[in-house]
């Protein structure tokens, strides 16, 4: 993580909010639109099937799609296998372009249909690492995104022992976060905005940023990790507004859409640090003892986490199918 210098009203007049945030949080671009990434100079970038689908259909990226199709055809596969190969090649193609811009890592997501298939997830991760390796990119610059199911967490445990770093996505609860940390996942991505969406839909209430259920969830996870010495990084994700981001200033990483990055860059209001390891270690949170039975019960007992995890898997799987349909039309 970068330096922990806190911004002051004096420095705030000189620095925009994005630059202030970068003083104590690693800023990550949440997009597949690598052209837009350059403007904000993030350390890392994350992608997912929905983001890749959004940019793949844009004329500006026609050459990237064409290259993925050409690479896929070289595999000799046909039918469904060919489409699956082209999707993998396309995800890696966008990742390669992003890595030309960011100095750090890119997150590439596994197929959501594999979310309950530990062996399938391990094999897919190996395939992505191989595809990147053929282009001269080592595993240290790649994060393999895996849904935070029990099976996904077990896959991450194996991959981390092999030196393949994992970004655990579709994470909505402390139980998921603790299981990921105990599996020694490199990074987790708790979905702030989707948690807020669920609570707003259920209660009909609006929430101030400091009371935002998604913000509170990430604060709890961050406090747990720092108090109990877990090395897994916390990267808040899926933001709905700048207020959520500012309430998590000081989190290890935050992955932010270009729209919200632009808002931060346009403001020079002060950005006080809200999270730090020292503050977290003073937390009264208790250690959670987990095994598979306890994990499944706690996840089932949390209606929000259960529903949003399932919904996220369905949406990403559906967008992968849409991406395959688009690519089949290009063949």
- Rounded to 5°, angle at Cα 51 from 271 and 81: 150
- Compute φ and ψ for 106, nearest 5 degrees: -120, 140
pLDDT mean across residues, the chain: 94
Cβ–Cβ < 8 Å for 201, 175: no
Cβ–Cβ < 8 Å for 181, 153: no
Question: Would 4 be classed as within a structural domain?
Answer: no
Predicted pLDDT of residue 35:
85
Query: Which residue in this structure is represented by tokens 């390796």?
Result: 133
Cβ–Cβ < 8 Å for 44, 26: yes
| pTM given for the model | 0.93
Predicted pLDDT of residue 145:
98
Predicted pLDDT of residue 66:
94
62 is catalytic: no
More confident residue, 2 or 119: 119
Per-residue pLDDT for 6 more than 60?
Answer: no
Question: Would 280 be classed as within a structural domain?
Answer: yes
Helix (H, G, I), strand (E, B) or coil at 254: strand
Average pLDDT over residues 205-228: 97
Nearest to 47 by CA among 173, 122, 144, 176: 144
Strand pairing category for 253-256 and 26-30: parallel
Question: Would 239 be classed as within a structural domain?
Answer: yes
Question: Would 61 be classed as within a structural domain?
Answer: yes
Question: Would 3 be classed as within a structural domain?
Answer: no
pLDDT confidence bin for 214, thresholds 50/70/90: very high
Residue-number span of the structural domain to which 266 is assigned: 9-330
Give 80-120 pLDDT, tens digit per residue.
Answer: 999 999 999 999 999 999 999 999 999 999 999 999 999 99
pLDDT confidence bin for 331, thresholds 50/70/90: confident
Average pLDDT over residues 178-199: 98
The total number of structural domains in the chain stands at: 1
Question: Would 1 be classed as within a structural domain?
Answer: no
Which residues sit opposite 8 in a β-bridge? none
Per-residue pLDDT for 206 more than 80?
Answer: yes
CATH code where residue 162 lies: 3.20.20.70
The one catalytic residue in 22, 26, 124, 145 is: 145
Cβ–Cβ < 8 Å for 197, 240: yes
Question: Would 251 be classed as within a structural domain?
Answer: yes
Predicted pLDDT of residue 13:
60
Which residues sit opposite 28 in a β-bridge? 44, 255
Give 57-66 pLDDT, tens digit per residue.
Answer: 999 999 999 9
Question: Would 45 be classed as within a structural domain?
Answer: yes
Give 10-53 pLDDT, tens digit per residue.
Answer: 444 689 999 999 999 999 999 999 888 999 999 999 999 899 99
């Amino acid at each position: 993580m970068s330096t922990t210098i806190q911004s002051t009203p004096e420095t705030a007049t000189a620095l925009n909010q994005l630059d202030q945030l970068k003083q104590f949080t690693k800023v990550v671009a949440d997009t597949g639109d690598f052209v837009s990434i350059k403007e904000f100079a993030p350390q890392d970038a994350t992608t997912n099937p929905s983001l890749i689908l959004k940019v793949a259909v844009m004329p500006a990226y026609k050459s990237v799609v064409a290259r993925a199709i050409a690479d896929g055809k070289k595999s000799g596969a046909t039918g469904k296998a060919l489409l699956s190969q082209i999707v993998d090649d396309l995800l890696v193609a966008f990742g390669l372009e992003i890595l030309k811009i960011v100095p750090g890592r890119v997150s590439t997501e596994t197929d959501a249909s594999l979310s309950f298939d530990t062996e399938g997830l391990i094999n897919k991760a190996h395939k992505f690492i191989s595809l990147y390796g053929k282009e001269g990119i080592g595993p240290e610059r790649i994060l393999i995104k895996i849904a935070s199911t029990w099976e996904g967490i077990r896959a991450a445990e194996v991959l981390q022992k092999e030196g393949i770093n994992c970004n655990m996505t579709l994470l909505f609860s402390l139980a998921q976060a603790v299981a990921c940390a105990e599996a020694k996942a490199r990074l987790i991505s708790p979905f702030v905005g989707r948690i807020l969406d669920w609570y707003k839909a259920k209660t009909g209430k609006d929430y101030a940023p400091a009371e935002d259920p998604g913000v509170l969830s990430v604060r709890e996870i961050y406090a747990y990790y720092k108090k109990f010495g877990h090395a897994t990084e916390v990267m808040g994700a899926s933001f709905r507004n700048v207020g959520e981001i500012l309430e998590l200033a000081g989190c290890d990483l935050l992955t932010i859409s270009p729209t919200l990055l632009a808002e931060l860059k346009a403001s020079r209001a002060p950005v006080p640090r809200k999270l730090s390891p020292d503050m977290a270690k003073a937390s009264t949170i208790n250690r959670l003892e987990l095994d598979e039975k306890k994990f499944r019960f706690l996840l089932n007992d949390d209606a929000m986490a259960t529903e949003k995890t399932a919904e996220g898997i369905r949406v990403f799987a559906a967008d992968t199918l849409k991406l395959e349909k688009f690519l089949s039309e290009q063949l």
